[in-house]
Structure 1
């Protein structure tokens, strides 16, 4: 069994809280590191997520890896998207119609 690590980026448009971490993180781009165990059988290859880390700035300004559950990350991203959609709908609702100008 071997492991592999992949890096990707996610963007949050709004401040967010992830998983059990109490402090809200600011909106912005974050690098995500996912580590998977690679299971190789005689006729298949499969992987199992064993760790997910989010690169954040610590309280002292130094970068640090924050261990998160990948499902919590997916939930936070979905919530950010919902916030974005709600904001767009609010702006549309507040725009006056052409007849009222």
Structure 2
């Protein structure tokens, strides 16, 4: 079976929470890896996503270890959308 990994970088303007993680994740750029496998038996090439991971940097909270953490793709897209809405909202002084 043929597999591939797609890489992208996502940016967060505000800190955010990931379910299953005990600490807040700081704002910044994060690498997201999406593993896909070839769907066999079709007359064209098509892939299905089988796993999504976000790379979290080393911090004092995680004992200075970089982590590759699995994340639900829908949760990730929701976090990105929420961050965009918060960035576009006028700040209240």
Give the Cα separation in 1 of the matches to 2:65 and 2:7.
Answer: 19
Structure whose residues are more often strand by fraction: 1
Q: For 1:36, what is the secondary structure of its paired residue?
A: strand
Matches within 5 A, 1:1-101: 1-58=1-58, 59-86=62-89, 89-90=90-91
Give me the CA root mean square deviation: 1.6
Give the Cα separation in 2 of the matches to 1:42 and 1:71.
Answer: 26
Q: For 1:90, what is the secondary structure of its paired residue?
A: coil
How many residue pairs get aligned? The number is 90
Structure whose residues are more often helix by fraction: 1
Unaligned runs of 5+ in 1: 95-101
TM-fit CA distance, 1:79: 0.5
TM-score, reference length from structure 1: 0.79
TM-fit CA distance, 1:42: 4.4
Contact 1:52 1:68 in 2 (8 A): yes
The list of structure 1 runs, each at least 4 consecutive aligned residues, that deviate by more than 4 angstroms after superposition, is none
Give the Cα separation in 2 of the matches to 1:10 and 1:63.
Answer: 17
TM-score, reference length from structure 2: 0.85
TM-fit CA distance, 1:28: 0.5
Contact 1:3 1:35 in 2 (8 A): yes
